């Protein structure tokens, strides 16, 4: 039981100065003998929903070929998430034709680890499967994960065409792939040659996976769409979320067709893409970015909406929707994303300082998961 007092609350109707009660993990009208959390000078915001984050890979493999126990890595990831205000996290787990960190065996272990941890972590952690298009050997197992309810979101990646066969070839990205594979460059190029030999089988495999996911009501995402043809193909499969489109034209096309469009919060914070893709702040201002994701850096998700508002790209309320209400809508999470009676009590308290927001508290599913100033909590 918790009462949050004296804060400035962002509600669907705008800003309100009112008390918030938390009871039985929900936002309530009242609570019996609650503890009191003083939010004087703070903004009370819906907890952030991260539609795509893979920074957890650094906890698993902080250096190339130096791996740690998955349980240890994911528990540490949980602490990092709530300390950054993320209350729902869709972990972008790649299942690839590659060896090393992104091989299917690691994806399998993470799928079962995330399922096993459900209900035992502060952050609501979910499995966002990033299926590599050329991972034909993994199709049967992926179908079994879908059938068993392990997959919470399914994205289709194609790093073979996007990086290995890209024009120009993304040399730095290719070096990263080789480094995490555990193979020599010669061995990795031989693996590419063997994998490419089955290229003709790829479209039918993707179609079968998309059909299985649609039957289970799993949100579908396309990833790194490069051309209008990519957009049309994945739209035909029911992918209503376009993740990191690589050109302004494809992003605009996705928006025109009513898709949710995802860009990286680090792109906003750094002032542009490190891979030469569209600038996320420009896309948000034009209405061609409806969701921000932490991508590879959790702290950026809190910073980005404040940066968009400070730079007068968007009003703050619309900027915050990019990390709360909009991803909730895209992922079918009707119980969160806004501060309303009866919704899940996922809240963050933020001090909006001039040099950047400071997270004071994270309340996840009604529990205080992070608090930087314990003097604000009274029995």
Comparing C-alpha atoms, which of 277, 268, 322, 273 is closest to residue 300?
268
Is residue 166 very low, low, confident or very high in pLDDT (cuts 50, 70, 90)?
A: low
How far is C-alpha 287 from the chain's CA centre? 19
Distance separating alpha carbons of residues 360 and 178, to the nearest angstrom: 40
| Dihedral of alpha carbons 142, 261, 332, 52, sign | positive
Other beta carbons within 10 Å of 141: 16
Q: What is the mean pLDDT of the chain?
A: 93
Question: What's the confidence (pLDDT) of residue 169?
Answer: 54
CA distances for 328 relative to 87, 174, 319, angstroms: 12, 34, 14
Residue 195 has a pLDDT of 86
Cα distance between residue 285 and residue 306, in whole Å: 14
First-to-last alpha carbon distance for the chain, in angstroms, is 11
pLDDT surpassing 80 at residue 273: yes
Tens of pLDDT along 72-125?
999 999 999 999 999 999 999 999 887 777 788 989 999 999 999 999 999 999
Percent of the chain with pLDDT over 90: 78
* Ranges of each domain in the chain: 1-47+338-379, 48-337
Distance between CA 265 and CA 250 in Å, rounded?
19
pLDDT (tens digit, 9 = 90+) per residue, 170-224? 667 777 777 777 778 888 888 888 888 899 999 999 999 999 999 999 999 999 8
- Asked if 292 and 280 touch (Cβ cutoff 8 Å), the reply is yes
CB atoms inside a 10 Å sphere around CB 271: 11
State the virtual CA torsion across 215, 221, 222, 223 in degrees, nearest 10.
-140
What is the CATH architecture assignment of 48-337?
Answer: Alpha-Beta Barrel (3.20)
Q: According to the model, what pLDDT value does residue 98 have?
A: 79
pLDDT at 174: 74
The Cα angle at residue 345 between residues 302 and 84, in degrees rounded to 5: 20
Q: CA 350, CA 341: separation in Å to the nearest integer?
A: 21
pLDDT at 267 over 60: yes
Is 165 within 8 Å of 231 (Cβ atoms)?
no
> Model pTM?
0.92
Assign a CATH topology to domain 1-47+338-379: Urease, subunit C; domain 1 (2.30.40)
CA distances from 351 to 7, 48, 319, 348 (A): 10, 16, 17, 10
Alpha carbon 167 to its chain's center: 28
């Amino acid at each position: 039981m918790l009462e949050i007092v004296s804060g400035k609350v962002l509600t669907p109707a705008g800003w309100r100065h009112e008390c918030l009660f938390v009871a039985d993990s929900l936002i309530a009208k009242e609570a019996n003998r609650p503890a009191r959390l003083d939010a004087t000078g703070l903004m009370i915001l819906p907890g952030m929903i991260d539609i795509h984050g893979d920074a957890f890979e650094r906890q698993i493999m902080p250096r190339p070929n130096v791996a740690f126990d998955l349980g240890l890595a994911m528990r540490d990831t949980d602490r990092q998430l709530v300390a950054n205000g993320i209350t729902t996290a869709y972990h972008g787990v790649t299942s690839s034709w590659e060896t090393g960190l992104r091989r299917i065996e690691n994806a399998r272990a993470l799928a079962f680890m995330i399922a096993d941890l459900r209900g035992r972590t502060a952050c609501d952690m979910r499995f966002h499967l990033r299926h590599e298009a050329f991972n034909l050997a993994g199709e049967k197992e992926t179908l079994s994960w879908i059938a068993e309810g392990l997959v919470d979101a399914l994205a289709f990646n194609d790093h073979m065409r996007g990086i290995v066969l890209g024009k120009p070839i993304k040399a730095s990205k290719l070096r990263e792939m080789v480094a995490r594979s555990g193979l020599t460059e010669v061995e990795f190029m031989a693996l590419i040659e063997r994998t490419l030999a089955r290229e003709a089988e790829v479209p039918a495999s993707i179609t079968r996976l998309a059909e299985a996911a649609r039957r289970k009501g799993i949100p579908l995402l396309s990833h790194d769409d490069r051309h209008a043809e990519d957009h049309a193909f994945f739209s035909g499969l029911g992918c209503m979320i376009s993740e990191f489109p690589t050109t302004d034209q494809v992003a605009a096309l996705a928006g025109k067709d009513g898709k949710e469009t995802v860009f990286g919060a680090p792109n906003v914070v750094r002032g542009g893409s490190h891979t030469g893709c569209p600038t996320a702040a420009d896309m948000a201002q034009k209405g061609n970015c409806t969701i921000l994701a932490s991508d590879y850096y959790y702290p950026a998700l809190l910073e980005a909406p404040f940066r968009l508002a400070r730079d007068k790209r968007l009003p703050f309320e619309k900027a915050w929707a990019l990390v709360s209400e909009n991803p909730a809508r895209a992922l079918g999470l009707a119980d969160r994303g806004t501060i309303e009676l009866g919704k899940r009590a996922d809240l963050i308290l933020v001090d909006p300082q001039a040099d950047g927001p400071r997270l004071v508290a994270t309340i996840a599913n009604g529990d205080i998961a992070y608090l930087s100033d314990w003097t604000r909590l009274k029995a």
